[in-house]
Amino acid sequence: MYVELAKSGRAKCEKCGETIMKGGKRLVKPVSGGYYNSTIFYCQKCGLKKIDEEISELKQVRKEIERRK
């Protein structure tokens, strides 16, 4: 995942459906699905929530790994 400025203003946030205005910050999540590659965009507000979710998930995985040692 990475952050970039929206290039055209046509993309919509995956979570809330709001249009991400041209030049606005957005979180970009590249997705690979077997035969195709795609990109998911999140507006700034939902992107921050998504980052928090990802960090929480990584912390859970880390705890599980440490527990198995």
Structural domains in the chain? 2-68 (3.30.1740.10)
**Amino acid 8: pLDDT:** 94
Q: Are 25 and 31 in contact (CB under 8 A)?
A: no
The pLDDT value recorded for residue 3 is: 95
Q: What integer pLDDT is reported at residue 34 of this predicted model?
A: 81
Spans in the chain with pLDDT lower than 50: none
Give me the pLDDT at residue 39, please.
Answer: 93
DSSP 51: H
pLDDT reported for residue 33: 81
Alpha carbon distances (Å) from 24 to 35, 47, 50, 55: 30, 12, 17, 23
